[in-house]
Amino acid sequence: KTEGPLAGRRVLVTSGPTHEPIDPVRVLANRSSGRQGHAIAAAAAKAGAEVVLVSGPVSLPDPASVTVVKVESAREMLAAVEAALPADLAVFAAAVADWRVAEGAEQKIKKGAGGPPSLALVENPDILATVSRGLARPQLVVGFAAETENVVEHARQKLERKGCDLIVANDVSPATGIMGGEANTVHLVSPGGVESWPAMSKEAVAEALVQRFAAALKVSG
Ligand code: C5P
């Protein structure tokens, strides 16, 4: 597209959970519907950007006018993200599993005399931190923080730790209904301070975020 606040911009979005195989039929996963990430990809495309959406397993339709790359594991997600760079803006909305099973079994693990298996876990790559500190760093790098307590304080720490420009923080305590739900209440945490938005639909949050990202890209050139 040649029109819209993100015309001429390349945007990368991650969305959904990752699935880390335990054996051919079982996975370790995070809870994530992918709704917020997919809504951001859709809103960025509507705003004129060329959008690549790298998505873990979700049960959502592909957003219109977006290139969708489907992955399962964190390591596949990192590879797909690196293949999609360079970009002007990257939004990491995926709920990436922090750990994977050190060695996934090649055959289904059988229930039996040995009792339940114990799973040795190893840490997954941090995709957001890798891209934030990488050579092909997009001009604007945005992370998400799903927390159940001290939402803003944790987001501030995350901004530092991950090296991104902005964290969109939300409280995903079960009582909020945000997880898998229609609406979201977010706090934008940047080095400049915190801005808290009222509860809005995930689509409205996506559109407002995209406006914000477009303005930030304009300021920084
Ligand atoms: O550390 P935490 O998972 O809470 O950080 C959340 C942010 O980091 C999100 O933007 C998420 O997409 C990103 N992330 C990532 N790769 C990981 C873990 C988190 O990109 N392995």
Nearest atom (ligand 1) to Cα of 131: 20
Average of pLDDT values for 128-153? 93
Residues 6+ apart with CB under 8 A from 24: 105, 106, 107, 108
pLDDT band at 19 (very low <50, low <70, confident <90, very high): very high
pLDDT at 180 over 70: no
How far, in Å, is the centroid of ligand 1 from the Cα of 54? 14
Known binding residue 144? Answer is yes
pLDDT band at 20 (very low <50, low <70, confident <90, very high): very high
The pLDDT score that the predictor gives to residue 105 is 87
pLDDT at 1 over 80: no
pLDDT at 173 over 80: no
pLDDT band at 221 (very low <50, low <70, confident <90, very high): low
Whether 184 is a known active-site residue: answer: no
Please give the ipTM for the structure prediction.
0.94
Mean pLDDT of the chain: 93
For 110, other C-beta atoms within 10 Å of its C-beta total 10
pLDDT in tens, 48-90: 999 999 999 999 999 999 999 999 999 999 999 999 999 999 9
Closest CA to 39 of 161, 186, 220: 186
pLDDT in tens, 110-126: 988 789 999 999 999 99
pLDDT at 176 over 80: no
Residue minimizing CA distance to atom 17 of ligand 1: 126
How far, in Å, is the centroid of ligand 1 from the Cα of 166? 13
What end-to-end distance do the CA atoms of the chain give, in Å?
A: 20
Closest CA to 168 of 185, 153, 183, 186: 186
How far, in Å, is the centroid of ligand 1 from the Cα of 109? 30
